[in-house]
Amino acid sequence: MKNERTLHGRTNLLYEEDAYLNNFTAKVLDCIPFSALTRKADENLKKESLFAIELDQTAFFPEGGGQSCDTGTLNGKQVLDVFKEDGKIWHVTDTPFSIHENLQGEIDFTTRFQKMQNHSGEHIVSGLIASLYGYENVGFHMSQDVMSVDVSGVLSQEDIEKIELLANEAVYKNKKIYTVYPDSPDEMDYRSKLDLCEDIRVVIIEDIDACACCAPHVKNTGEIGMIKIVDFMHYKGGTRLFMKCGHWAYLELKQIFDQNKEIMKQLSAKRENCAEAVNKLVELNQKKKEEENALKNQIVDLYLEKLQSENLFFADKLDEIQLRRIINESVKTSSGIVAGFVGSDTDGYRYIVSKNEQAADIDLKQLAKTMNEALNGRGGGSDKMIQGSIGALKTEICAFFKKY
């Protein structure tokens, strides 16, 4: 078993030697147009104006294992992408460099460290799930502020809470994290999503986990800071977890506290009573809604009584649900068509028009077309019911329907 592996092709992998290195010097081995590679450029960048640089050594972690690449600069020029292709590690910039030129590289270590916190936290959680439930990690993705982890079995809410508690206890114990390089897959037991035969790099979290991984990690679990599983869902026969660790978890908690503080102020409630206060407010709103619907139904009944002798009505206090009920009921006893409008001259009107067998000679589809043209409207439907919106005045609408 080796203690270190530092080469990828012709490039010395400084991030494997020291994940905390944020400045380095390197020599340019090759510089080619980015368009010569199969890698797709970011949609905001023009591939033809970019260059791919190969270095003799690098502290930039390339994209891999579900984690995006490091960001930073080479001689002050922004590194836009770092990836592996054709057995080489390429650094993408909008500036070409000469072969054998010495460059100064600088990593955005703030972002690097936050990714390290999260990736190490993910190893703890996935390791616990494997040891407790025997489920494998079958998917991992780290975006800008959250990780998703897919495991091969179904976890309950209680399982998630147990895993999160044990994961944070592992943080408190400040366990050592280090890497080893087995000569063969059979040399030691470790988790892996891939069947590796060579260049195996295993990240070991003391007494907790061993997992094949290419990414940088923190040195001790205490540096992770906090592990929070913010959500989960059942996915493809297993479970997808959404996690935040370290600084990301802090920002999540701060956002929750800031929102909770505003809720406390609005409800005049203590933090520990906020849920109860919100439940009471929801119950009150539900009661108000039921009372409102009861009043609207009474109004609907009044309109139905009125429509026994009329076929056109306006209701500015009803919604389309009540409007449809009025139309459906009144058309049963009307002498032909029934037209209903909700809205106002200022805001416009929504309409529904229906007919019964006594108005068989009226083509509602044609009526919709004629009405839309005459009253600045839009809409349509079937030969039994049409609906839409109109931008005309009430007097204009009444004048139009006098012929019907």
Please state, in angstroms and rounded to a whole number, the distance separating the CA atoms of residues 78 and 106: 10
Domain covering 303-401, topology: Diaminopimelate Epimerase; Chain A, domain 1 (3.10.310)
Residues 150 and 137 sit within 8 Å (Cβ to Cβ): yes
**Domain 7-107, architecture per CATH:** Beta Barrel (2.40)
**Sheet (strand 57-58) strand order:** 7-8, 11-13, 57-58
Give mean pLDDT in consecutive 10-residue pieces for the chain, a chain of 404 residues.
65 94 97 90 75 97 92 96 93 96 97 97 97 95 93 97 98 96 84 75 95 95 97 96 97 93 88 88 91 82 70 79 84 81 90 86 90 92 91 92 81
What pLDDT was estimated at residue 356? 84
Angstrom CA distances, 224 to 209, 248, 313, stand at 15, 10, 66
- What pLDDT does residue 197 have? 60
Q: What is the model's pLDDT at position 7?
A: 62
Is-contact 27 40, C-beta < 8 A? no
Tokens coding 23: 């400045």
Q: Name residues whose C-beta falls within 8 Å of residue 105's C-beta, 6 or more positions apart in sequence.
A: 23, 24, 25, 26, 55, 58, 59, 60, 72, 73, 74
Looking at every residue in the chain, the average pLDDT score rounds to 90
Q: How many CA atoms lie within 13 A of 346 on its CB side?
A: 1
pLDDT at residue number 29: 97
pLDDT given for residue 176 in this prediction: 98
Residue 195: the pLDDT is 67
Q: Which CATH superfamily is domain 112-254 in?
A: Threonyl-trna Synthetase; Chain A, domain 2 (3.30.980.10)
d(CA 209, CA 152): 17
**What are the structure tokens assigned to 327, written together?**
């139309």
Q: Where are the extended beta strands (E) located within 3-108? A: 7-8, 11-13, 23-33, 51-55, 57-58, 72-74, 77-79, 81-85, 88-93, 102-107
Q: What pTM was estimated for this model as a whole?
A: 0.74
Task: Look at residue 388 in the predicted model and tell me its pLDDT.
Answer: 93
Q: Do domains 7-107 and 303-401 have the same CATH topology?
A: no
pLDDT of residue 305: 72
Enumerate the domain spans of the chain.
Answer: 7-107, 112-254, 303-401
